[in-house]
Amino acid sequence: MTDREQLGEKALEFSEGLWQRGDIWEFDTSDFERARWARLMEVLGSTRYGRVLELGCGAGHFTRLLARLADRIVAFDIAPTAIARARAAETAATIIDYRVGNAMDYGWRDDGPWDLIVMNDTMCYLGWLYPVFDVAWFTSELLAATRPGGHFLMANAMDAQYDKLLLPYIIRTYRDLAVNVGFRPLREEVFTGTKHDVRFDVLISLFEKPQQA
């Protein structure tokens, strides 16, 4: 097994292990999560997107909100349990195609180009599991897979006390990386909320791929 394959196995084991423990993030009940998703939708505004890619969709909570703005969504998550829950939540025909897959395997490239790519609390895990070169190359591939004039929405919680994966200076590095590979910032803000009496700031960045990238 190659080093890359070993990293993929580690990523799968980590993510699937979390999802098999249940809704540990309280996505079904958390006011903080609902408010965060609502703010992300407000950042996207009323723009209509033909083809949307979501990487790290989990059980599809935000994916179902995205469906209001999209003609078609392909949503990936590495954890089979997460995708099973997402599919089970759909009660009728849907525009969402849920797929099990590791974003770092690039299985999403062949269906591009995309009008909108979304990564919500996903890049921080890739940055923890994979070398910086791999994350940088991945980000450049996101740009390549985005249609000229298309958008990339990235959001990551920041926490300076409890979770080292979410240190603000690390999260902002992912934002800078997107700019460095060629995305143009359109809108950026910090959403602040409280979950279990812990304050979280969420860095929300909306980028555009220039027409002449």
pLDDT tens readout for residues 136-150? 999 999 999 999 999
Among 1-10, 86-95, 96-105, the minimum mean pLDDT is found in 1-10
Total count of domains within the chain: 1
Tell me whether residue 73 is in a domain: yes
- CA pair distance 170, 168, nearest whole angstrom: 5
Tokens 């958390």 identify what position? 30
- CA pair distance 116, 97, nearest whole angstrom: 15
Tell me whether residue 178 is in a domain: yes
Question: Predicted confidence band at 90 (pLDDT cuts at 50, 70, 90)?
Answer: confident
- CA pair distance 165, 168, nearest whole angstrom: 9
Tell me whether residue 55 is in a domain: yes
CB of 199 closer than 8 Å to CB of 144: no
- CA pair distance 191, 202, nearest whole angstrom: 5
Alpha carbon of residue 189 to chain centroid: 17
Q: What is the pLDDT of residue 160?
A: 79
Q: Which candidate, 105, 118, 5, places its Cα nearest to that of 53?
A: 118
Tell me whether residue 40 is in a domain: yes
CATH number of 21's domain? 3.40.50.150
- CA pair distance 94, 85, nearest whole angstrom: 15
Q: What is the pLDDT of residue 213?
A: 52
Tell me whether residue 72 is in a domain: yes
Percent of the chain scored above 70 by pLDDT? 99
Tell me whether residue 213 is in a domain: no
Tens digits of residue pLDDT in 8-45: 888 889 888 888 988 888 898 999 999 999 999 999 99
Largest CA distance in the chain: 46
Instruction: Enter the pTM of the model.
Output: 0.94
Tell me whether residue 95 is in a domain: yes
CB of 11 closer than 8 Å to CB of 129: yes
**Domain of 170, in residue numbers:** 3-208
Tokens 């999403």 identify what position? 108
Tell me whether residue 97 is in a domain: yes
